Amino acid sequence: MSVYGPAVKIHPVVLASICDSYERRNEGASRVIGTLLGTIEKHSIEVTNCFSVPHNESEDEVAVDMEFAKNMYELHKRVSPTEVIIGWYATGFDITEHSVLIHEYYSREATNPIHLTMDTALQSGKMSIRAYVSAQMGVPGKTVGVMFTPLTIKYVYYDTERIGVDLLQRTRVLPSRTKGLTSDLSQVAGSAARVQDMLTTMLAYIDDVVSGKVAADNSVGRFLMDLVNKVPTISAEDFENMLNSNINDLLMVTYLSNLTQAQIALNEKLVLL
């Protein structure tokens, strides 16, 4: 049984999927479970996809629709052939006895499956997301049990995913929880505004340090030096030239595209005469 390094990398799409399936659960079900898909590398596991599996849970027994899980996995494999079953997830705060059984089911599908729990009921005020691997424990030959050892979780994003998540972050501040997609210059303005915010925070910090309120931190000071030095010193004339030539390029392209648009509109009108 191979032992993985302590880190599991999770993509936010998986967590969003879990939240969504929790919200859509059947009446009476207190938690949802599902399969985790992803890729295994030598020292780390990356969870990139998931789907929920219908299951029934009561005091004494638990039934999981494994047929369904297998079917779904086949379908998913057609789209992304590199993803394999690497574990399962469950919502809820703790690990119950039923989890052990379900974990056994999944051990048949994957070697050393990961168990991910996500507290969607927000019991501790935060949504605690934790991952576990199972390990045998106990006295061999007599009572053998299973222990879930926790793993550390790292969130990874693709670049485009990061930008998508940024956009989603902004929905949480509005009471209507909605956000339109902006375009053109307003996007640049928004980005610049954010940089400006960061600069104000930094300036406030610097003021505090200078006036002695906060102890100076050398590493922060070095970062600040780096920052200021990053602005390249170009002679004013050279910069003027560069700026002008760039602006000219852009203006020319704008002019040409406007011309093209006028041209095709004209052509349209002529044909329809």
Partner 1 sequence: MASRKESTSAASAVMASTSGTLDSPVKQIQIEGLVLLKIIKHYQEEGQGSEVVQGVLLGLVVEDRLEITNCFPFPQHTEDDADFDEVQYQMEMMRSLRHVNIDHLHVGWYQSTYYGSFVSRALLDSQFSYQHAIEESVVLIYDPIKTAQGSLSLKAYRLTPKLMEICKEKDFTPEALKKASIGFEHMFEEVPILIKNSHLINALMWDLEDKSTVADKHELLNLSSSNHLEKSLQLLMDRVDDMSQDIVKYNTYSRNLSKQQQQKHQYLQRRQQENAQRQSRAEPPLPEEDISKMFKPPQPPPRMETLLIAGQINNYCQNVKEFTSQNLGKLFMAEALQGHN
Select the span of 93-101, 106-114, 174-182, 213-221 touching partner 1 (CB under 8 A). 174-182
Would you say 17 or 117 has its CB closer to partner 1? 17
The helix (run of H) or strand (run of E) holding residue 116 is strand 114-118
Q: Please, what is the Cα angle at 78 between 74 and 81, to 5 degrees?
A: 95
**According to CB under 8 A, which residues from 252 to 271 bind partner 1?**
253-254, 257-258, 260-261, 264-265, 267-269, 271
Tell me: does residue 246 bind partner 1 (CB under 8 A).
yes
Whether the CB-CB separation of 105 and 119 falls below 8 Å is answered with no
Whether the CB-CB separation of 33 and 64 falls below 8 Å is answered with yes
Return the C-alpha torsion angle 171, 177, 183, 189, nearest 10: -50
Tell me: does residue 251 bind partner 1 (CB under 8 A).
yes
Select the span of 137-145, 178-186, 205-213, 214-222 touching partner 1 (CB under 8 A). 178-186
Tell me: does residue 241 bind partner 1 (CB under 8 A).
no
Tell me: does residue 188 bind partner 1 (CB under 8 A).
yes
**Residue 25, CA atoms < 13 Å, CB-side half-sphere:** 22
Tell me: does residue 183 bind partner 1 (CB under 8 A).
yes
**Residue 33, CA atoms < 13 Å, CB-side half-sphere:** 25
Tell me: does residue 196 bind partner 1 (CB under 8 A).
no
Tell me: does residue 161 bind partner 1 (CB under 8 A).
yes
Would you say 101 or 243 has its CB closer to partner 1? 243
Tell me: does residue 237 bind partner 1 (CB under 8 A).
no
Measured distance CA(87)–CA(35) in Å, rounded:
6
**According to CB under 8 A, which residues from 84 to 113 bind partner 1?**
none
Tell me: does residue 199 bind partner 1 (CB under 8 A).
no
Whether the CB-CB separation of 47 and 86 falls below 8 Å is answered with yes
Phi then psi for 49, rounded to 5 degrees? -155, 165
**According to CB under 8 A, which residues from 48 to 87 bind partner 1?**
48-49, 51-54, 65, 68, 71-72, 75, 78-80, 82
Tell me: does residue 203 bind partner 1 (CB under 8 A).
no
Tell me: does residue 226 bind partner 1 (CB under 8 A).
no
Tell me: does residue 11 bind partner 1 (CB under 8 A).
yes
Tell me: does residue 129 bind partner 1 (CB under 8 A).
yes
Measured distance CA(168)–CA(124) in Å, rounded:
24
Measured distance CA(199)–CA(201) in Å, rounded:
5
SS3 47: strand
Task: Report, in Å, the least distance between residue 110 CB and partner 1.
Answer: 19
